[in-house]
Structure 1
Amino acid sequence: MMRRFLSRRLIVLNSHEGLRRGISRSAAATATEVENATITPKMPPFDYAPPPYNGPSAADIMKKRLEFLSPSLFCFYKKPLNVVDGKMQYLFDEDGRRYLDAFAGIATVCCGHCHPDVVEAIINQTKRLQHSTVVYLNHAIADFAEALASKMPGDLKVVFFTNSGTEANELAMMMARLYTGSQDIISIRNSYHGNAAGSMGATAQSNWKFNVIQTGVHHALNPDQYRGVFGSDGAKYAKDVQEIIDFGTSGRVGGFISEAIQGVGGIMELAPGYLPAVYKSIRKAGGLCIADEVQSGFARTGSHFWSFEAHGVVPDIVTMAKGIGNGIPIGAVVTTPEIAEVLTRRSYFNTFGGNPVCTAGGLAVLRVLEKERLQENAFVVGSYLKDRLKGLQEKHDIIGDVRGRGMMLGVELVTDRQLKTPAKSEILHVMNQMKEMGVLVGKGGFYGNVFRVTPPLCFTKEDSDFLVDVMDLALSRL
């Protein structure tokens, strides 16, 4: 009894001594410490605890990675995160610590990590048949193609399955060239379409382009509403495409490829009026219009199922991946029956495209999106989150721009709002601070100074509040 009393007494004396010493510090420093200690945001409750992890540590994994994996690989954060478990909008590290995932594996996990309906579909199909190739019949690929076609406008109803977005864009551009007989493809500066031969040519950021032969692609002025010379006047940017056709080609083109919202480019939404004007010019020159929906498709933008729909256009070819499978390696190209016929001129084949496990999982994803009304949630919660981020912009001068729609939002950091000087080092510091407080976000843009906020579509308003409060505190600590 006496021992416990003396222990409590010692704690009180130490506290008083600490307080006495603290008074000698600067009042401002002490106030800041107290404020930071008392307002650290609290993560929303979540009824799930991962099983104990008994695998190798982050240090052991990094050692193997450095020895056996490509040296081109990179990690976010000063102390790389070892992710071992995931559930809906949350991820867990090797110690069981929970993180709010606002990046979703680069805009890929749409339904939520390990969604039970998707997992069940994958397991059931895997138990029955893992692989057969399309030279045999199997209902999984046909069922998913039918469901996917029902989501497309116009006469877009023939589906070719691939393994990735890069592969989908490669196929789409080849089809456009075959159909039109023209080799010239026009894409937009700041775009990203993949890292294979053709798609790297269409990509227009030096960060993602190797010094290898890339031919037949012209890069048009980017209709960038934040940094662009014409602001939000899409029609003025579109004139550059017409000039490329007039002066840089024979007057006939194979096609035009674009994202309606540039993902890797920093969540840059194309200026209003741009796509309708460009589509008109391209079609007049005999070309096809390709919509790259790899990141922005599958209800992510909330207002529409496909991001091109917000611009009032109907493409000739649509490419997709990422959200199509909630993390399963699958992509697709959807086009019209007439355009699809070009692949019958020779033999076109893809060993894994349309794999029954992947397509069964993809069909489950579509059903979850509909059953849980995740497009509506992306719109409602995404609008709420964007409003809160706009409020943060008013508080912190370092936030130069907040943009995007639904669950595809960008926050650009600049050291000078007038000059729009990219805050390259500051964003790294903020990212690390946010990770330490339990929030994971992406990073992109040509200068690497844009937060890419692309969470699973099951994100809630409570999650949004936590994310913004954490970002607010991290920015306050700069």
Structure 2
Amino acid sequence: MTNDLLGRHRAVLPDWLALYYEEPLEITHGEGRHVWDAQGNRYLDFFGGILTTMTAHALPEVTKAVSEQAGRIIHSSTLYLNRPMVELAERIAQLSGIPDARVFFTTSGTEANDTALLLATAYRRSNTILAMRNSYHGRSFSAVGITGNSGWSPTSLSPLQTLYVHGGVRTRGPFASLSDDAFIAACVDDLLDLLGHTRPPAALIAEPVQGVGGFTAPPDGLYAAFREVLRERGILWIADEVQTGWGRTGEHFWGWQAHGRNGPPDIMTFAKGIGNGMSIGGVVARSEIMNCLDSNSISTFGGTQITMAAGLANLNYLLEHDLQGNARRVGGLLIERLRAVAAHVPAVREVRGRGLMIGIEITKPGTDEADPRTAAAVLEAAREGGLLIGKGGGHDTSALRVAPPLSLNVAEAEEGAAILENALRSIP
């Protein structure tokens, strides 16, 4: 049955639509932190639909909210008042930390970043954007145009002029050998030098932790230091929280808060986990930025009632059960366990991350050279052991990504770590 489905997939879908595994997997259902395939095999899910299943599979509170809302009305567009949308916007505006915030809902993180770029360029009357090397911001024409990761940039054409800044990757590049303070100072000097050679940009867009880039991050405080430079010049700061938001990093509710010395970002984007699998994205911005557009606009599917009901139920569950605290506690145990394993595996260059957002970088032993074949082999071995993980990285996709639902318990963390240990030790 799976082979038949794979053949049908290949006959009607694009060749560039990636599938994991030599024998691709059809997931039929899930519960909690587990999913099952079409053959009845059970897996511990440490990737959650690319960080979208934030709380748990088939979370009763979310499925109940979706079912009840579907029985009333599913969709009406933004042309009509929408109570669930207003209620979720109120919660997110308050949680964002942005003063006098306005919220616009989209259907994905790509569309959210696209909207943020539209707002920033319209507000600043500039089409120049600063972005981070090794970054990823989505699949649309404008988002691809600012993505600093060649593996996810199919065209060099763009409606924007993009300038790339150092700092998103702590352990690679020309400043890797410096101390954290010196690293930040060197990146700020690089930014200042760059700004001296270009017309004023509209904004800097940055992921506090780079997701597709392999869960890499700068030292805490880098974006606060950048913020000082940007604010002096009126340049906006867009925090892309599509993967880092909602407490996943454990230490903070938003990734930007690790760099919050100089206040919140001007614009923040979100998506993925808030819907727990439902299609929700969005933008939060100060009112004068959000309201700067001088033409009509609506969103046909952004903020539709059924997704907003799911988002409200999911957010309530997240806060009431302190899943941020759980991510900090269980994630801390998991990362230390994985570091202990990696110390005996020469192919592991680094185990990094925070909370339940952990990257394991695979290289050829004794070098910094990426080893995507070995990373893919570990992915396969983990599946054979009953564990699903992801992969990414700006260096030939050689980083394994570990991002379970935030309700992961200690026993499941230990189980997943044991499977990963066996998979890593299987490396020839």
What is the TM-score when the length of structure 1 is the normalising length? Answer: 0.85
Name the CA distance, whole Å, in 1 between partners of 2:52 and 2:65: 18
The residue correspondences of 1:108-123 to structure 2 (distance < 5 A) are 108-123=52-67
Match of 1:23 in 2: none
Match of 1:16 in 2: none
Match of 2:162 in 1: 217
For 1:240, give the aligned amino acid.
Answer: D
Match of 1:3 in 2: none
The residue correspondences of 1:145-224 to structure 2 (distance < 5 A) are 145-155=89-99, 157-214=101-158, 215-224=160-169
Deviations 1:11-66 (A, max 9, x none): xxxxxxxxxxxxxxxxxxxxxxxxxxxxxxxxxxxxxxxxxxxxxx2112111101
The answer to whether the aligner puts 1:460 opposite 2:409 as a matched pair is yes
Name the CA distance, whole Å, in 2 between partners of 1:82 and 1:199: 29
Match of 2:364 in 1: 415
Contact 2:33 2:44 in 1 (8 A): yes
Match of 2:245 in 1: 297
Name the CA distance, whole Å, in 2 between partners of 1:318 and 1:413: 32
| Structure 1 position 125, deviation (Å) | 0.6
| Structure 1 position 211, deviation (Å) | 2.4
For 2:175, give the aligned amino acid.
Answer: F
The residue correspondences of 1:14-93 to structure 2 (distance < 5 A) are 57-93=1-37
Q: Secondary structure at the match of 1:142?
A: helix
Match of 2:268 in 1: 318
Name the CA distance, whole Å, in 2 between partners of 1:157 and 1:225: 32
Match of 1:30 in 2: none
Q: 2:281 aligns with which of 331, 343, 348?
A: 331
- % identity of equivalent residues: 36
Q: 1:268 aligns with which of 197, 216, 221?
A: 216
Deviations 1:80-134 (A, max 9, x none): 1111011111010112221000011111111111111011111111110011111
The answer to whether the aligner puts 1:288 opposite 2:232 as a matched pair is no
Q: 2:173 aligns with which of 228, 237, 246?
A: 228
| Structure 1 position 258, deviation (Å) | 0.1
Moved over 6 A (4+): none
The answer to whether the aligner puts 1:372 opposite 2:321 as a matched pair is yes
Contact 2:349 2:361 in 1 (8 A): yes
Q: Secondary structure at the match of 1:100?
A: strand
Name the CA distance, whole Å, in 1 between partners of 2:113 and 2:190: 23
Q: 2:345 aligns with which of 370, 391, 396?
A: 396
Contact 2:361 2:398 in 1 (8 A): yes
Name the CA distance, whole Å, in 2 between partners of 1:139 and 1:211: 41
Match of 1:406 in 2: 355
For 1:65, give the aligned amino acid.
Answer: H
Match of 1:98 in 2: 42
Name the CA distance, whole Å, in 2 between partners of 1:272 and 1:132: 43
Match of 1:342 in 2: 292
Contact 2:79 2:298 in 1 (8 A): no
Q: Secondary structure at the match of 1:342?
A: coil
Contact 1:413 1:422 in 2 (8 A): yes
Contact 2:98 2:265 in 1 (8 A): no
Contact 2:98 2:266 in 1 (8 A): no
Name the CA distance, whole Å, in 2 between partners of 1:431 and 1:341: 45
RMSD of equivalent CA atoms: 1.3
Name the CA distance, whole Å, in 2 between partners of 1:287 and 1:172: 14
Contact 2:167 2:184 in 1 (8 A): no
Q: Secondary structure at the match of 2:288?
A: helix
Unaligned regions of 5+ residues in structure 1, if any? 1-56
| Structure 1 position 383, deviation (Å) | 0.4
Q: Secondary structure at the match of 2:76?
A: coil
Contact 1:325 1:365 in 2 (8 A): yes
| Structure 1 position 475, deviation (Å) | 2.1
Contact 1:110 1:457 in 2 (8 A): yes
Cα distance 1:217–1:420, how it changes in 2: closer, same or farther (>3 A)?
same
Name the CA distance, whole Å, in 2 between partners of 1:77 and 1:210: 23
Q: Secondary structure at the match of 1:113?
A: coil
Contact 2:33 2:408 in 1 (8 A): yes
The residue correspondences of 1:414-453 to structure 2 (distance < 5 A) are 414-417=363-366, 419-446=367-394, 447-453=396-402
Name the CA distance, whole Å, in 1 between partners of 2:220 and 2:127: 28
Name the CA distance, whole Å, in 2 between partners of 1:271 and 1:158: 30
Name the CA distance, whole Å, in 1 between partners of 2:41 and 2:185: 49
The count of corresponding residues between Structure 1 and Structure 2 is: 418
Name the CA distance, whole Å, in 1 between partners of 2:421 and 2:98: 44
Contact 2:76 2:304 in 1 (8 A): yes
Give the number of the structure whose alpha-carbon radius of gyration is greater.
1
For 1:187, give the aligned amino acid.
Answer: A
